[in-house]
Chains A and B, each alone.
Chain A
Amino acid sequence: MAETTYGWAGQIARVNLSTGDITEVDDTDMQKDYIGGMGFANKIMYDEVPAGTDWMDEENKAVLAVGPLTGSGVPLGGRSTWATLSTYTKDHLVVDCHCGGQLGAKLKFSGHDGLIIEGKADSPVYILIDDDKVSIEDASAVWGKGTRETTEALCKKHGLDCCVAAIGPAGENLLPYACVINTRSHSAGAGLGAVLGSKKVKAVVVRGTKPVNVKNPQMVADLSDYMIAQVLGSNNNHVVPSTQQSWAEYYDKGSRWTSKKGLYWAAAEGGPIETGEPKPFEPNTMGYRCMKSTKDLGPEAEKYTVKMAGCHGCPVRCYAQVKHPVVLEKTGYESMGNTCVPNFPFSAYMQGMMKVPGTTDESGKLTEQSVVYNLLIQATVDDLGLWCNYAQLYRDIAHTYVDGILERELGDQFPEYGFDKIMAGDATPFIKILSDIASNDTDNKPIAWLGHGPFVWCDKDHWNDMEWFDDKRSCLINYRGWPVHHAIECFSQVGGLYNMWFNRDDMIHSAVNFQGCGLPIELKKDMAKEVWGSADAVDPDKNYTPMNEAKAEFAWWCLVTDVLHDSLTLCNWVWPMTMAPAKERSYRGDLDLEAQFYTAVTGIEVTIDDLYKAGERIMTLQRCNTVRGMTDKDGKKGCNDMRGVHDVITEWPFSKDPDIAPFTPGTDKMEHKDFKKALTMLYKRFGYDEKLGCPTKECLEDLGLTDQAKDLEKLGLLTEGGAKYEDRTRKYDHILEKYCGDNPALNA
Chain B
Amino acid sequence: MKENTALEHVGSGADRLDTFFTRRGFVKVSSAFVASMVALGLLPDSAAAAPTSSKGKVDYYATPSHVLKVNRARCTGCQRCEMSCTLKNDGVSQPAAARIHVNDGFYYGSELGSGDGIYYSMEWMVRTCHMCTTALCQTSCPQAAILTDDNGVRSVDPDKCVGCGTCVAACPWHMPVVNTVTKKSTKCIACGRCADQCPNGALELVKWENVNHSSGPTRQANPEQLVTEKQDFIAGGKIA
A210 close to B (CB within 8 Å): yes
B60 close to A (CB within 8 Å): no
Q: Which of A448-467 contact B (CB under 8 A)?
A: none
What separation, in Å, do the CA atoms of A740 and B45 have in the docked complex? 46
Beta-carbon contact of B88 and A156 below 8 Å:
no
Residue of A nearest to B230 (CB): A332
B residues less than 8 Å from A105 (CB atoms): 79, 95
Beta-carbon contact of B233 and A160 below 8 Å:
no
Q: Which of A119-168 contact B (CB under 8 A)?
A: 131, 144-149, 151-153, 155-156, 159-161, 168
Beta-carbon contact of A317 and B233 below 8 Å:
no
Beta-carbon contact of A317 and B181 below 8 Å:
no
Residue of B nearest to A111 (CB): B181
Chain A 354-371 near chain B by CB (<8 Å), digits 1 or 0: 000000000000000000
What separation, in Å, do the CA atoms of A217 and B6 have in the docked complex? 36
Chain B 226-240 near chain A by CB (<8 Å), digits 1 or 0: 111010111111011
Query: Of the candidates A212, A264, A288, A435, which one forms a contact with B240 in the assembled complex, judged by CB atoms under 8 Å apart?
Result: A435
A309-B78, A334-B119 known, 15 other contacts, Cβ within 8 Å:
A105-B95, A149-B233, A153-B228, A155-B112, A160-B104, A225-B196, A269-B121, A273-B2, A307-B122, A331-B233, A332-B234, A334-B224, A335-B118, A335-B119, A432-B240
B residues less than 8 Å from A333 (CB atoms): 227, 233-234
Beta-carbon contact of A73 and B83 below 8 Å:
yes
Interface of B is mostly: loop
Beta-carbon contact of A287 and B96 below 8 Å:
no
Beta-carbon contact of B121 and A335 below 8 Å:
yes
Beta-carbon contact of B227 and A152 below 8 Å:
yes
Beta-carbon contact of B235 and A152 below 8 Å:
no
Beta-carbon contact of A211 and B230 below 8 Å:
no
B residues less than 8 Å from A275 (CB atoms): 1
Given A313-B78, A334-B120, are A217 and B88 also a contact pair (CB < 8 Å)?
yes
Most chain A beta-carbon neighbours within 10 Å: one of B79, B107, B234: B234
Beta-carbon contact of A160 and B88 below 8 Å:
no
A721 close to B (CB within 8 Å): no
A321 close to B (CB within 8 Å): yes
Beta-carbon contact of B107 and A155 below 8 Å:
yes
- Chain B residues engaging chain A, CB cutoff 8 angstroms: 1-2, 4-7, 71-80, 83-84, 86-88, 90-97, 103-108, 111-112, 117-123, 180-181, 193, 195-201, 217, 224, 226-228, 230, 232-237, 239-240
The 5 A-B residue pairs with the shortest CB-CB distance, nearest first, are A146-B235, A287-B199, A209-B96, A211-B92, A211-B94
Minimum CB–CB distance for A224 against chain B, Å: 7
Residue of B nearest to A265 (CB): B73
Beta-carbon contact of B96 and A272 below 8 Å:
no
Beta-carbon contact of B123 and A383 below 8 Å:
no
B residues less than 8 Å from A159 (CB atoms): 104
A residues less than 8 Å from B96 (CB atoms): 109, 161, 208-210
Q: Which of A366-386 contact B (CB under 8 A)?
A: 379-380, 383-385
Beta-carbon contact of B235 and A383 below 8 Å:
yes
A residues less than 8 Å from B84 (CB atoms): 73, 221, 224
A residues less than 8 Å from B234 (CB atoms): 146, 331-333, 379-380, 383-384, 431, 435
What separation, in Å, do the CA atoms of A658 and B5 have in the docked complex? 58
Beta-carbon contact of A268 and B107 below 8 Å:
no
A residues less than 8 Å from B80 (CB atoms): 73, 75, 313, 315
What separation, in Å, do the CA atoms of A332 and B119 have in the docked complex? 11
Query: Of the candidates B71, B200, B235, which one forms a contact with A384 in the assembled complex, judged by CB atoms under 8 Å apart?
Result: B235
What separation, in Å, do the CA atoms of A9 and B111 have in the docked complex? 31
A670 close to B (CB within 8 Å): no
Query: Of the candidates B1, B87, B228, which one forms a contact with A276 in the assembled complex, judged by CB atoms under 8 Å apart?
Result: B1
Beta-carbon contact of A145 and B92 below 8 Å:
no
What separation, in Å, do the CA atoms of A283 and B199 have in the docked complex? 6
Most chain A beta-carbon neighbours within 10 Å: one of B4, B181, B200, B217: B200
A residues less than 8 Å from B224 (CB atoms): 328, 334
A399 close to B (CB within 8 Å): no
What separation, in Å, do the CA atoms of A409 and B226 have in the docked complex? 39
Chain A 186-219 near chain B by CB (<8 Å), digits 1 or 0: 0000000000000000000000111111100100
Chain A 36-80 near chain B by CB (<8 Å), digits 1 or 0: 000000000000000000000000000000000001110100000
What separation, in Å, do the CA atoms of A160 and B180 have in the docked complex? 17
